[in-house]
């Protein structure tokens, strides 16, 4: 009798966790937040993870408006989920189309690396609007009011 309850319990846990994992890749992004890039095919978290060259958590240190009216955010990378090379501990500049006002705030960032032209340095461009995190919850962006822990788990699942 105890063995059958144990087996049923294990099967129930397996079913519940597999349902959650299946929803991770198909989690729809907030329709009100359009991609910054011209690629409007980004509909789910899985799409976003696939199109990103880098997925990092970083603290915004500074921002400026560039000559082409893009915001240039300077961030210190605190953690990295995906990337061509290791950025943890480094300071990088990411171009975004949305003005950010949360200096010192931690962000989850999805961005791609653009090939530099002649006499240019590497350019990193955000794929969607940035996602500020406060008290382990997103306060803006497509993950607004969601738990950072849950989204982090879903990103790892999508990789």
> Could you list the mean pLDDT of each consecutive 10-residue stretch along the chain, which spans 159 residues?
57 46 51 49 84 92 77 90 93 76 81 78 80 89 89 91
pLDDT of residue 31: 45
pLDDT of residue 143: 86
Residue 152: give its domain's CATH number: 2.40.50.120
Closest CA to 29 of 158, 157, 150, 144: 144
Can you give the pTM of this predicted structure?
0.75
Number of domains in the chain: 1
Q: Report the 10 Å Cβ neighbour count for 103.
A: 12
Q: 75 lies in which domain range? A: 2-158
pLDDT of residue 5: 60
Reduced to 3 states (helix: H, G, I; strand: E, B; else coil), residue 103 is coil
């Amino acid at each position: 009798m105890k063995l059958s309850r144990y087996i049923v319990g294990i099967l129930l846990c397996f079913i519940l966790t597999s349902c959650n994992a299946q929803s991770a890749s198909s989690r729809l992004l907030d329709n009100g937040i359009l991609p910054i890039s011209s690629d409007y095919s980004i509909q789910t978290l899985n799409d976003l993870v696939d199109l990103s060259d880098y997925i990092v958590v970083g603290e915004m240190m500074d921002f400026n408006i560039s000559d082409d009216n893009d915001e240039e955010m300077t961030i210190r990378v605190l953690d990295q989920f995906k990337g061509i090379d290791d950025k943890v501990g480094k300071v990088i500049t990411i171009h975004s189309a949305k003005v950010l006002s949360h200096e010192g705030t931690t962000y989850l960032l999805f961005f791609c690396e653009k090939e530099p032209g002649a006499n240019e340095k590497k350019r990193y461009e955000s794929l969607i609007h940035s996602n500020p995190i406060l008290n382990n919850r997103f306060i803006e962006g497509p993950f607004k009011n969601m738990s950072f822990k849950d989204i982090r788990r879903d990103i790892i699942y999508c990789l």
